[in-house]
A and B are shown apart, each in its own frame.
Chain A
Amino acid sequence: MAEKIATRQAYGDALAEFGVDESIVVFDADLSKSTKTATFEKKYPERFFNMGIAEANMMCAAAGMSTCGKTVFASTFAIFAAGRACEQVRNSICYPNLNVKIGATHAGISVGEDGASHQMLEDIANMRALPNMVVISPADAVETRLAVKASIEHKGPVYLRLGRLNVPVIFDETYKFEIGKGVELKSGSDVTIIATGLLVHEAITAFDILAEKGISARIVNMPTIKPIDEDIIVKAAKETGAIVTAEEHNILGGLGSAVCEVVAEKCPVPVLRIGTKDKFGKSGKPALLMKEYELTDEDIVKKAEEVLKLK
């Protein structure tokens, strides 16, 4: 089994690495040890500001500071970043199109034991609906590092969706990341699995199970949910004729919805969505929750078989 690193850890490391750039400032809301911004704080204490348990103020202060030429990373749990402070993000960051990057950790049900109040399953939906916002959901540590780098280079708001759980490292140093680009990880012709975040690894293992069953699946990693890579979706629809989407998010409003929007308008083919089914999470071990909420490779396989019948 490959090395396991949480994307939040890779985020903290990347901030410390790219923090040599003196225009980078990091804000946190009393969660720096969990969001891993503490790694940046240790290296650059003068450019780290703890704003206390006050996420609304933090988002707007980040907006104000960015107008003075800073690239501000504001971090907290996804539930508070995209939930509590959603309107602050909309009006003070997105409307004026400011250079604030939201490092939202503990997204999704894989938060585990903390339960529903802390398992953000609607953030992609909330953030993707905001004009000017870029939404990135990295699959592993390598992609997270590159996404942080790309976020710094991109002028404007970015929402980085990061996880708590240690997850396998999928990519190596040769991996290329570009905002707005999906990546074909495995070629196939019967069906395409489009996955994001934690579910990318599940999609890769599903590929092998499907292959054993004689099904040729194309696997696409979709790290940027917005702007979505329309070309790779249309190509998949045309060439494989069926799509399964997979994400650790409500099936309403997330990657699945974004893919359906493109498919419905540009090249209608059957699409089935893996995600939480418009319900709240609960406490438990992450792996058990992933099973119970049908977010595993086995579930992807089942959906792939189902979607083939709709072709």
Chain B
Amino acid sequence: MDKKTLLELKKKAVRVRKHILDEVYSAQSGHPGGSLSSTEIFTYLFQNEMKLDPANPKWMDRDRFVLSKGHCAPGLYASLAVRGFFPEKDLTGFRSIDSYLQGHPSMKDVPGVDMSTGSLGQGISTAVGMALAGKLDKKDYRVFTLLGDGEIQEGQVWEALMSAAHYKLDNLTAFIDHNGLQIDGKISDVMCPEDVVEKFRAFCWNVIQIDGHDLEAIEAAVQAAKAIKGKPTMIVAETIKGKGVSYMEDVAGWHGMAPDEELYKKAIAELDEAMALLEVE
């Protein structure tokens, strides 16, 4: 991507992060940590990559996205709003009784959500089904899905990986947000699934490891995935949970906790500062 696009995307990423904070702060619940670690992935896909029509969210030939780690709905909703699927001002209704923005993604309620998720391990399987349908219908849409590194402890994920490789779903690209943390602490302490790169390779996936906060690296990986024939691609994105908010970074406690007013203001101030730096670039 050119410099201008990159700068625009970086600004959008900050905008998405601010929205995530707004959503979780207004709901006083929700999941900031994993939403923030996935922000560049969300931003690249929704603002630069996916063929979508916000005016026609169910357009049959669109690219699909399944948030397999459904708890990161704040990041997804922010990205959909920034892309124009619904007004950004609706985001603060997140998780409230009058809002369509359910705590976890609901495809029947939220425009642009392609699959209802929240139960870890299921989303990637639904993405396999979508990719299989694309092959069956000889359509050229692509299917993207995003998993957590804790999520892959679910056995179903490996069933899905096996089936995607078996059916040679090269129209499927999965991301794993490799932030090293889950609810109860470090992945390596709770239940260590490493070496993930070797495991995905052993499941016959094309595996690309990148810095998950580097938009250009994400772009390069997605383009490489498109060029690979006969294999699905897993992009292992090395990230920092809570990225962009100093006190949340790499702290397991911010997985599913909302900041109080003081900490919220601090986070917004940090993000405003990040935006100001981008403005002068």
* Residues in chain A within 8 A of chain B (CB atoms): 25, 46-47, 49, 51-52, 54, 56-70, 72, 87-88, 91-92, 95-97
Contacts and interface: CB of A to CB of B under 8 A. Distances in A.
Contact of A61 (B121, B134, B163): B163
Interface string B55-87: 000001000101000000000000000000000
Contacts of B159: 52, 54, 56-57
Contacts of A68: 60, 129-130, 133-134, 137
Contacts of B54: none
B114 interface: yes
Contacts of B129: 60-68, 72
Contacts of A54: 156, 159, 162-163
B68 to A, nearest CB: 10
Contacts of B132: 49, 61, 64-65
A96 B108 contact: yes
B119 A64 contact: no
Interface string B90-122: 000000000000000011100000111111011
Contacts of A61: 125-126, 128-129, 132, 160, 163
A49 B126 CA distance: 14
B136 A63 contact: no
- Give the residue among A62, A66, A91 with the most B Cβ atoms within 10 A: A91
Contacts of B118: 91
Interface in B220-244: none
Interface in B131-151: 131-134, 136-137
A54 B163 CA distance: 9
Contacts of B136: 25, 46-47, 70
B125 A65 contact: no
Contacts of A56: 121-122, 125, 155-156, 159
A96 B115 contact: yes
Contact of A57 (B106, B117, B125, B131): B125
Given A49-B167, A57-B162, A65-B130, 4 more contacts: A57-B125, A70-B136, A88-B156, A92-B125
A138 B132 CA distance: 31
Contact of B119 (A47, A65, A91): A91
The bracket for how many chain B residues form the interface is 35 or more
Nearest to A25: B136
Contacts of B66: 64
B130 A95 contact: no
A185 B44 CA distance: 62
Contacts of B121: 56
B127 interface: yes
B163 A52 contact: yes
A152 B122 CA distance: 25
Interface in B21-77: 60, 64, 66
Contacts of A51: 163
A67 B125 contact: no
A56 B166 CA distance: 16
B162 A95 contact: no
B119 A57 contact: no
B162 A64 contact: no
A178 B123 CA distance: 34
A307 B232 CA distance: 62
Contacts of A52: 159, 162-163, 166
B116 A60 contact: no
Nearest to B70: A91
B106 A63 contact: no
Nearest to A94: B116
Nearest to A88: B122
Contacts of B130: 64-65, 67-68
Given A64-B128, A64-B129, A92 B60 contact: no
Nearest to A29: B159
A97 B130 CA distance: 16
Nearest to B123: A60
A60 B107 contact: no
Nearest to A65: B129
A5 B44 CA distance: 56
B163 A67 contact: no
